Amino acid sequence: MNIAAALRRAGRHLAGPVTTAPHGEPGRTGRPPAPASPPGLRPVRLLLTAVLIFMVLFFGPDLLDHATTEHIPYSGLLTKVEAHQVSSVAVGSSGTVTGTLTNGRHFTTQAPLWALTTGDLATHLESSEVKVSAYQQSDTLRQLVTSLLPTALFLGGFVWLGRRMQRNLGGSGGLGGLLRTKTRVTDAERPATRFADVAGYEGVKQEIREVVDYLQRPERYQRAGARGPRGVLLMGPPGTGKTLLARAVAGEAHVPFFAIEGSAFVEMFVGLGASRVRDLFTQARQAAPAIIFIDEIDAIGARRSLAGPGGHDEREQTLNQLLAEMDGFPGDTSVVVMANTNRPEALDPALMRPGRFDRQIQVPLPGLADRERILIVHAQGKHLAAGVDLSLVARATPGFSGADLANLVNEAALRAARHDRDELRPADFDAARDRLVLGQRDESNALLPAEKRAVAVHESGHALVAALSPGADRVAKVTILPTGMALGSTHQLPEDDRHLYNQDYLTGSLAVRLGGRAAELLAFGQASTGAADDLAGATRLAVRMVREYGLSPRVGPVAYPVPAARYLGAEAPDRPYAEATQRLIDHEVARLLRDAEQHAIDLLRHHRPALDALTQRLLDEETVDGQTVYDIAEQTPTAPSAITGPTPAA
């Protein structure tokens, strides 16, 4: 076997069996052609192939000789010489003895240094008449390669691994890719979102149209010597459509839309966020007129710490660069920076000054009319049954955001699909609302008969107090079916969205919240843990009535601020009032709750037959609509009830 044959065999082993593909190209046998290697791997493979060929050429002869050569010790060599079994030998200058035995086999021996200097080896060879030759042995290069090659391979692999990690961090461009901004650009011809696609929010859209006009006709503002809006900050709860409004501005103005998340500016490398800010603003200036949109700007625009350098250096450098870029806009550059946040109180004041985000637009939760418009948009393409009234659905969803309403319609459609129906019915929307507000109905939570009766009494108390209290929100439904963490629930629907709440309404709300506990006291003579959430909600409302709204005669028309919660582990802030004032507040809160509970007990005692009738109706049907509650309250006489159970002492 020669070296060329060994190389050919090694080449076949590396390349695998090669055949001809249908188009005349080499291909793998029995499997599809492998995908092309990434460009970064080709130099590595070429280097590995070159190293392999070098090793075969350099060490190949020794490996082949090693397979056919017998290694014998020096004493064994002398024994064979004396037995006349050695035909010829060659002695190297470093003591390596190679030779041929009389049977044709090759051998090698490492003679000790003393055997060469004393002539012991030469004496034995001459006495046996062995053919002897000598050669100058130089293994310096071989030793150098043998010692340095592993180190070189290790260092090469380490460098290759480092470059591979850089490419993974920065994309296909290596470390330079880390410096490029992760933006999503919408060309001027591509924006499809318009103000018509944003249901409701007419006031917000009217305020934001000035940005569209400035981007479309900036010369009109320049002639008047006016400076166009530099920054627009959209503030509001999550899910209210702030990002959709920003896209609609770009769509109406037909300008490029550069969108990036605030968190994309901050990375593990200090200074990288500032570089991305510069890159983003450079792109926007080149594409002007354009819009830069920063989603969740509080990720980089949070209030800077006064504690000096620390763990937020990268974020603060990014914020400083953002402020510098917004200050550096020339007056004739038609670039508007838009951003959104649901935490405006956390933003740095430097962002809010004129010349930066000087337009601050509130995007609140949709009102009743806006909720109906949003429902109409999301109901498009869905088959609604004849009995579906989206205005009633809008009334039943106060406090829902646009995203919540979209989820509501989708949940209703999912319920219809689970029942193998194409059309959405009112029951689908009711079930979807219950699932979003209260949680998934727990079919496995079977109550004991006594517990079921207690829940029925509790919910009947809530419903009747609400139905009998003037000005209270109308009762829509009462159920004793377990849902989420609640064993039952009473649904109230406001006639309209309220913006002001008078003292009578708030006092009535306390009585409604404590109506379940009052019914338990009236029917069983004792309360249960089922009123825990009611007590918590009523207490929070009473505290605000006393401390913030000035509705306590003894405390007076004074508003005491509520201490804001701080970070975990921080000490609670001091109260901005005396300990005696705190005791007075606690006393007034307890008085409001006691008065509300007593009012609910008196109301239910006077309408005890109605409480009994509604309780029995719930036990029979489990769910009762609001109109039935009002019918029972109006048609049932107010005579004393025959239900046994002690009456609580006043």
Q: Check: CB of residue 355 under 8 Å from CB of residue 336.
A: no
The Cα–Cα gap between 380 and 406 comes to 11
CA torsion sign for 147, 149, 150, 152 is positive
Tokens representing 64? 């082949």
171 Cβ contact partners less than 8 Å away, ≥ 6 residues apart:
177, 178, 180
What does 540-605 look like in DSSP terms, one character per residue?
HHHHHHHHTS---TTT-S--PPPPPP--TTPPPPPPSS-HHHHHHHHHHHHHHHHHHHHHHHHHHH
- Look at residues 380, 376, 382, 424 and name the one whose alpha carbon lies nearest to residue 402: 376
643, 472, 543, 539 alpha-carbon torsion, rounded to 10°: 30
Of 459, 520, 588, 597, the catalytic one is 459
- Name the 3-class secondary structure at 317: helix
Phi then psi dihedrals of residue 630, to 5 deg: -70, -35
Going by DSSP bridges, is the β-strand pair 335-341/290-295 parallel, antiparallel, or unpaired? parallel
Distances (CA, A) of 583 to 477, 541, 560, 564, 596: 39, 18, 13, 20, 20
- Report the alpha-carbon distance of residue 318 to residue 300 in Å, rounded: 7
Write 531-535 long-range contacts (CB < 8 A, 24+): 531/458, 533/486, 535/593
Alpha-carbon distance of 600 to 510, in angstroms, equals 9
Cβ neighbors of 492 (< 8 A, separation 6 or more) are 466, 472, 473, 474, 475, 476, 512
- CA torsion 388-391-396-399 (nearest 10°) is 140
| Residue 411 annotated among the catalytic residues of the structure | no
Which residue reads 């946040």 in tokens? 341
CB atoms within 10 A of CB 218: 17
Sign, Cα dihedral of 40, 45, 50, 51: positive
Instruction: Say how far apart CA 176 and CA 272 lie, in whole Å.
Output: 11
Question: Which residue from 197, 193, 195 is spatially nearest to 207, judged by alpha carbons?
Answer: 195
Give the integer Cα–Cα distance in Å for 287 and 189: 13
Beta strands 257-261; 290-295: pairing state: parallel
- Of 62, 142, 57, 139, the C-alpha closest to 108 is 62
**H helices, E strands: number in the chain:** 23, 18
Q: Is residue 614 a contact partner of residue 636, using CB atoms and an 8 Å limit?
A: no
Beta bridge pairs of residue 367: none
Known catalytic residues are 459
